[in-house]
Structure 1
Amino acid sequence: MEFEKALTQASEYLSFTPRFINPAEPQGLWFCDSLVTASDIGVNAVCLGTGSSWDDVPRCRPFLEAFPFIVIVSPNAIARDEMHEALLPRLPAMCLYEIGDAGFRGCKTITEYISVYGRKELLSILSGAEELPAYGLLNLARVPQQNLLTIPRTLSGFPRLDKGILGFLEGRLSIWTGKRGIGKSTLVSLLLLESLNQGHVVCAYSGELPKEQFREWMYLQAAGPEHIAYQTDLPTGKRVAVANALADKQISDWMDERYWLYDLDRNTRHDPEMILSQFEYARMRYGADTFLVDNMMSVDLATARDRDYYRAQADFVQQLSTFAKRRHVHVHLVVHPRKSSGKSGAVDNDDISGSGDITNKADNVFFLTRHNRVVDGKPVDAPLLVILKNRDFGTRGDVWLDFDGKSRRFFQYKAGSADKRYAWDPAGQQLSLQELTDPAGTAEIDRIFPPEKEASACK
């Protein structure tokens, strides 16, 4: 009774002669390329029904599973390959065989085969059948060896961090977290600048910063202390750091068509689908291989309940991870922490905003904080980068940083400085300072850099 019900259901999508269908026969089920081929074979032979598509095949699962195996039958190699590609993903748990050219002994049709060798020889075709590899399963012995040292990557510019994680490898997702205002956006902006300096193309989504402010901060980092002047606002006396005119132009020429920013003015939607579609375009059109989402709180996740919101966050992180692996790129994602760390400053992956799935799906997780560092016997409040997770090597540890407020640059404590030159500024070449014009007449340019560091809050 059960099989008769399955037979009736399958007849809606497959063409066959019911009286010729018998699961007890030893040849299994022959899935043919056409009704003519199925008719010539007769016993246990089916084909896709008129008006049906390959997506209808899974609807026939109770019928198909009544047979010990399925054989793909087509003397035409092209049609056979199409059937192969269509059936494997739709019947992943079934045993599939395919009859190759050798099985048909040079015959172009089943009609010709029967004419030459006789119907009694029809089952001998099975001797030329080969089992198809299971869909979704890999033979581990056939997986090629991966050499992590040869994977394309970008270095962070912090030697201790790069030694621990080998840099930012392609196909990975890195999550950056820390309290509000601690400097997460400033740090990841510097990482994208490092990528540019190593010849990569970058693309950034910033849901909070207008394009003008994003540009201002990034140009300060690219310019460095040597090429930054100060404008003084005459009414208030406030001094503002800016890249001098010559440096600004050379930076623009250097990064032209290599740094792409999600346009908040034109892209009124900030949902995952739109962001990822723009990332896909940047990858395919411009060859971008380093991406930034800053930050996840600014992404529109269509849900009302908190529980669903956390699930939507996890789904977006999964989409970013899949994008990174499929397109062989590295994605940086800024995420706010869920709660304040304890008195000791300790933090772990569970402190990241949203569900635990977020950090589970990431390849690297970093936490930026501030902590007391002992200098000359005295505690000094200093930035500290904590490696919470590294999937490739299991690295965990701390990287002490310093920060230059004028250029908005982080650099590794005792192993770097704010004076690094990027490729737009050839080493040893001195750029002359230019007067910056101020049409409104409300500011003047300080041509001599002040000795003190200008206070600058980190975002």
Structure 2
Amino acid sequence: MAEFLDDSIDFEAYMSETDAQARVRPAHDYVQTLKERLRGRKKQRFVYLPWEKTQANFDFRSGEVTVWAGQNGHGKSHIARIVALSLMGQGERVCIANFEAKPAVTLQAMARMFVGKNPFSPEYQADSGIAAIESLYDDFGAWTNGKLWLYDQFGTTQAGRVLGMTKYCGKELGIKHVFLDNLAKCVRDEDDYNGQKAFVDECTAIARDLDIHIHIVHHLKKPSRETDKPDKGDVKGSGSIVDQPDNLFLVWRNKAKEDARKANKIEHQEEPDQVLYCKKNRNHEGMADGEPTIALWLHRESGQFLGSAHASLMHFPCYPHRVPAPEPMAREWEAA
């Protein structure tokens, strides 16, 4: 027989129950979850940075936000494009919203890195050279189909519109990584700390709720010298830009090396061209350093940043980004 609920129960008390009362649970309730995470890690699919040497240090997790911050002209957008190409090569869907460059400019830079050649070199200026590059661009376009979207919005925009676009990408297109380049174009006033905080807070909520990864490109304060190496405290604007996201990378360009090269000097030439300083990796698991310093070298013809001075160009359609070994030729057996 069904049981009846006594009218003497104070149902109103349950209606007014606070969110904290409903969510506070004893720790042992989660032990089974810990066991499942431990065993499931072997089957988990990881998404990495482009460079193999960083596999043990960092991986992109769904439901998180990463900030890429650097001084003006230090290659923040350049690094973001390389990361985007790598993510696509790992089977991820990507959308790039670059409010400081038109879509064709963003795509031009990515195509150059993909094909590994500088289309403006003298050898490609004749009709035959242009045709060769166009053929490579066709390969690039075919490869991006179903992997890459570009948001066609140039200049300052409204925060609500950007957040709505990000939700649309996650809900309707199944996109897993959205790049917002950059925060200053989404929150108009540099001193609007409340606006910056609210925007980043919304990004963290969207990433969590839609199980996607949001990348925010942002500026650092202008240093006393351009060669100064950045730190976490150099991030411009509200402290929430550092506090709320899950991961923080600082992008630094070795201007001293560039100046020495232009002056035909040998100083600094063994140093990297670019360095990524990971200053936050909130949910890192593993024994390796979760906040690595990543040295990179520029291949000037392609625009790729490589993991060592003598590394081969990255082949983005697969991961790791190495050119696949040729398949062995089938051996023909002659009849006896």
Task: State the TM-score, normalizing by the size of structure 2.
Answer: 0.76
SS at match of 2:95: strand
Equivalent residue for 1:92? 18
Are the structure 2 counterparts of residues 416 and 364 from structure 1 closer, same or farther at C-alpha, using a change threshold of 3 Å?
farther
**1:213 Cα deviation (Å)?**
0.8
User: Does residue 405 in structure 1 map to residue 300 in structure 2?
Assistant: yes
Matched, 1:155 2:95: no
Do residues 388 (structure 1) and 279 (structure 2) align? yes
In structure 2, C-alpha distance between the alignment counterparts of 1:343 and 1:279, rounded to whole Å: 34
Which residue of structure 1 aligns with residue 185 of structure 2? 298
Please give the per-residue CA displacement for 1:94-139, whole angstroms capped at 9, x wherever unaligned.
Answer: xxxxxxxxxxxxxxxxxxxxxxxxxxxxxxxxxxxxxxx9323233
Q: Which has the higher contact order (CA 8 A, sep 6+)?
A: 2
Higher strand share: 1
Within 2, Cα distance between the matches of 1:384 and 1:269?
Answer: 29
- Pairwise CA distance, 1:193: 0.6
Q: Identify the match of residue 96 of structure 2 among 204, 210, 217.
A: 204
Q: Distance between the aligned counterparts of 1:152 and 1:173, measured in 2?
A: 18
Question: Could you tell me how far 1:187 is from its partner in structure 2?
Answer: 0.6
Q: Deviations over 1:163-182 (max 9, x none)?
A: 212x1111121111111111
- 1:278 to 2:165 alignment: yes
Q: What's the secondary structure of 2:109's corresponding residue? A: helix
RMSD of aligned residue pairs (Cα, Å): 3.6
> Is the alpha carbon distance of 1:416 and 1:325 closer, same or farther for their aligned partners in structure 2, counting shifts above 3 Å?
farther
Match for 1:283: what amino acid?
Answer: G
Give yes or no for contact 2:314–2:322 (8 Å, CA) kept in 1: no
The residue that corresponds to 1:110 in the other structure is: none
The answer to whether residue 261 in structure 2 is matched with residue 368 in structure 1 is no
Q: Deviations over 1:323-347 (max 9, x none)?
A: 1121111111111002316688343
Is the contact made by 1:368 and 1:386 (CA closer than 8 Å) also made in structure 2?
Answer: yes
1:71 matched to 2:6? The reply is no
Aligned partner of 2:174 among 277, 280, 287: 287
Provide the C-alpha distance between the structure 2 equivalents of 1:183 and 1:241, rounded to a whole number of angstroms. Answer: 28
The secondary structure found in structure 2 opposite 1:244 is: helix
Query: 1:230 and 2:230 equivalent?
Result: no
User: Is structure 2 residue 335 aligned with structure 1 residue 335?
Assistant: no
**Cα drift, residue 400 of structure 1:** 0.9
Q: Deviations over 1:217-272 (max 9, x none)?
A: 111112123xx543659xxxxxx99981121112111211321111217xx98222
Partners of 2:80 and 2:278 in 1: how far apart? 15
Distance 1:243-1:213 versus aligned 2 partners, 3 A rule: farther
Query: Could you tell me which residue of structure 1 aligns to residue 108 of structure 2?
Result: 216
SS in 1 for 2:237: coil
1:164 aligns with 2:57: yes
Question: What is the one-letter code of the residue matched to 1:312?
Answer: G
CA contact (8 A) 1:421 1:427 kept: no
Q: Find out whether 1:422 has 2:317 as its counterpart.
A: yes
Name the CA distance, whole Å, in 1 between partners of 2:322 and 2:237. Answer: 42
Map of 1:100 onto structure 2: none
| 1:180 equivalent in alignment to 2:72 | yes
What is the alpha-carbon distance in structure 2 between the residues aligned to residue 337 and residue 419 of structure 1? 29
Identity within the alignment, %: 19
Partner of 2:21, secondary structure, is coil
Contact in 2 for aligned 1:324/1:331 (Cα 8 Å): yes
The 1:427/1:230 distance shift into structure 2, 3 A limit, reads: farther
How many residue pairs get aligned? The number is 296
Gaps of 5+ in 2: 124-128, 258-265, 327-336
Aligned-partner Cα distance in 1 for 2:85–2:92: 9
- Residue 238 of structure 2 is aligned to residue 355 of structure 1: yes
> Which secondary structure state, in structure 1, belongs to the residue aligned with residue 23 of structure 2?
coil
Give the corresponding residue for 2:262.
none
- Rounded Cα–Cα distance in structure 1 between residues aligned with 2:89 and 2:236: 32
Distance 1:428 1:161, change over 3 A: closer
Q: Whole-Å Cα distance in 2 between the matches of residues 241 and 142 of structure 1? A: 64
CA displacement 1:172-198 (0-9 Å, x = unmatched): 211111111111101111111111111
Asked whether the equivalents of residues 171 and 210 of structure 2 are also in contact (C-alpha less than 8 Å), the reply is no
Q: CA deviation at 1:280?
A: 1.4
Correspondence 1:317 to 2:206: no
CA apart distance, 1:355: 1.6
Shift of 1:202: 0.7
User: Cα–Cα, structure 1 residues 204 and 243, in superposed 2: closer, same or farther, change >3 Å?
Assistant: farther
Letter in 1 for 2:303: R
- Which of these two proteins has the greater Rg computed from alpha carbons? 1
1:229–1:212 CA distance, 2 compared to 1 (3 A): closer
Aligned equivalents of 1:179, 1:243: Cα separation in 2: 36
Within 5 Å, give how 1:17-28 maps onto structure 2.
none
Shift of 1:361: 0.7
In 2, distance between residues paired with 1:384 and 1:197? 23
The Cα offsets for residues 263-304 of structure 1, whole Å up to 9 and x where unpaired, read as 217xx9822221121121111222110110111111144xx6
| 2:145 corresponds to 1:260 | no
1:300–1:370 CA distance, 2 compared to 1 (3 A): closer
